[in-house]
Structure 1
Amino acid sequence: MEGLGWISAIIVGAIAGWIAEKIMKSDMGLLMNIILGILGAVILNAILMAVVGGTLGGWIGQLIIGIIGACLLIFGYRMIRGRT
């Protein structure tokens, strides 16, 4: 499986974070969107590799993984911090 490059990961992370921000109705800002999108993709990819043994590849696959992962991170943050 081939991963995305750094620039691609930042672009996909920003888009994934922005979409997750809209889905979860939160206001995080551009930098936090990028961080959430990339971190969400990394965490969910690790979970999928451990449980299923594989993950989605390519731009679209990583975008989907990033969106789901970022939504989970926002949800977890809200559970710990409380909804503001």
Structure 2
Amino acid sequence: MDDIKAKIKGFLLQFFHNYELQEDEDIFALGFVNSMFAMQLVLFVEQEFQITIGNEDLDVENFRTVNAIAQLVDRKTAIALDR
């Protein structure tokens, strides 16, 4: 899970210049996310972790923090492995 968080945080920090993002900080409340960036984030998660984000996953709660995104990836990865 730490590797997943590191990759997510690395992606986010490319856009959040000079900000020390914590894993439990709400990136929406911080004002870093607009609708265009939200789609970039979804695409990054799909491509980086080789998962599909379905409509049912497009809940802001799944993308609010590094921890939430990592949990989503973990769940989606587990589902893919079960198939």
TM-score grouping bracket, smaller chain normalisation: 0.3 to 0.5
Which structure: greater helix fraction?
A: 1
TM-score normalized by the length of structure 1: 0.40
